[in-house]
């Protein structure tokens, strides 16, 4: 659904408000109504894009447990730090191609992300980032499994202690998003995480109250952010 298909209809000189439905599901199982203000030309004053992980919320409580379950034979602390170093790679397909190379194929030198980029990614970028290639499909399967694990951890964490999700919010950025919402500025999130995991984050972090949608690696052409 594209909420901006009908913007050209609003051509009067007065500002108008429209309501469109978020693609994200809230805690009540419903898609929230998002109010958007249109300017004189029939378009919003701006569109805001927010990264989720590390910008709107700290998710280490989930990532640490999830990566330990995915690679259970590794020392958890070292494993977690190695995983976080891969966040600079730009998308999860590269991250999990690297993690598989380190902990399954024995390329311990890839613990340095720059070595991974030089020796593995740059010579094989297309095969890692784009569907229908073997390396990409392997990384995508690991991403899918990681997403399922992380989603389950979200459910368990919310059931035991929902306040933890409130504590994970990065307050200044969250308040900025709330201000944009009051101003009627449409917002979209993006993240290098699996859709099944992001759906839980949208629900428990109440991002469904603010954002039209959140783009995940599965939705981004060519593997997402470059």
Whether the pLDDT of residue 172 is over 80: the answer is yes
Whether the pLDDT of residue 161 is over 80: the answer is yes
Tell me what pLDDT residue 14 has.
Answer: 59
* Higher local confidence (pLDDT), 220 or 9: 220
pTM for the full predicted model: 0.84
Identify which of 22, 10, 2, 6 has the alpha carbon closest to the alpha carbon of residue 207.
Answer: 22
Tell me what pLDDT residue 166 has.
Answer: 87
Identify which of 100, 29, 53 has the alpha carbon closest to the alpha carbon of residue 214.
Answer: 53
Whether the pLDDT of residue 1 is over 60: the answer is no
Instruction: Measure the CA–CA gap between 192 and 196, rounded to whole angstroms.
Output: 12
Strand-pairing partners, residue 25, are 31
- pLDDT tens for 48-101 read 999 998 899 999 989 999 999 999 999 999 999 999 999 999 899 999 999 999
Which H or E run includes 32? strand 31-38
Q: At what angle do helices 134-160 and 60-70 cross, to 10 degrees?
A: 130
Side by side, the strands of the sheet bearing 213-215 are: 48-51, 187-190, 213-215
Whether the pLDDT of residue 221 is over 70: the answer is no
Instruction: Measure the CA–CA gap between 208 and 33, rounded to whole angstroms.
Output: 9
23 in helix, strand or coil?
A: strand
Tell me what pLDDT residue 98 has.
Answer: 98
What is the mean predicted confidence (pLDDT) over 196-208? 94
Tell me what pLDDT residue 40 has.
Answer: 87
Percent of the chain past pLDDT 70, that is, above it, reads 90
| Tally of CB atoms within 10 A around 143 | 25
Q: Which of 2-6, 15-19, 117-121 is predicted most confidently?
A: 117-121
What is the mean predicted confidence (pLDDT) over 205-225? 79
Answer for the pair 10, 156: CB distance below 8 angstroms, yes or no.
Answer: no
- Residue written as tokens 């730009």? 90
Tell me what pLDDT residue 125 has.
Answer: 96
- pLDDT tens for 106-127 read 999 999 999 999 999 999 999 9
Whether the pLDDT of residue 5 is over 60: the answer is no
Tell me what pLDDT residue 30 has.
Answer: 94
DSSP conformation letters of 199-214: HHHHHHTTGGGT-SEE
Tell me what pLDDT residue 192 has.
Answer: 85
Rounded to a whole number of angstroms, the CA Rg of the chain reads: 19
Q: How far lies 153's CA from each of 84, 146, 161, in Å?
A: 18, 11, 12
Tell me what pLDDT residue 13 has.
Answer: 46
Whether the pLDDT of residue 146 is over 70: the answer is yes
Spell out the alpha helix ranges (H) of the chain.
60-70, 76-85, 92-103, 113-116, 125-129, 134-160, 163-168, 171-182, 195-204
């Amino acid at each position: 659904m594209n909420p901006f298909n009908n913007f050209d209809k609003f051509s009067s000189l007065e500002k108008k408000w429209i309501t469109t439905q978020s693609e994200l599901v809230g805690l009540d199982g419903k898609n929230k109504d998002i109010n958007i203000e249109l300017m004189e030309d029939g378009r919003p004053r701006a569109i805001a894009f927010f990264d989720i992980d590390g910008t709107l919320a700290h998710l280490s409580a989930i990532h640490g447990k999830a990566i330990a379950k995915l690679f259970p034979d590794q020392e958890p602390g070292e494993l977690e730090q190695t995983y976080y170093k891969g966040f600079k790679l730009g998308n999860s397909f590269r991250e999990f191609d690297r993690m598989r190379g380190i902990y399954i194929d024995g390329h311990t030198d890839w613990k340095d992300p720059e070595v991974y980029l030089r020796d593995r990614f740059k010579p094989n970028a297309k095969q890692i980032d784009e569907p229908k290639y073997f390396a990409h499909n392997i990384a995508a399967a690991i991403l899918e499994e990681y997403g399922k694990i992380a989603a389950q951890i979200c459910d368990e964490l919310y059931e035991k202690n929902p306040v933890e999700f409130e504590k994970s919010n990065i307050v200044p950025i969250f308040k900025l998003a709330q201000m944009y919402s009051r101003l009627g500025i449409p917002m979209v999130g993006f993240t290098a995480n699996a859709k099944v995991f992001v759906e839980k984050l949208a629900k428990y972090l109440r991002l469904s109250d603010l954002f039209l949608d959140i783009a995940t690696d599965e939705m981004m052409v060519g593997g997402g952010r470059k």
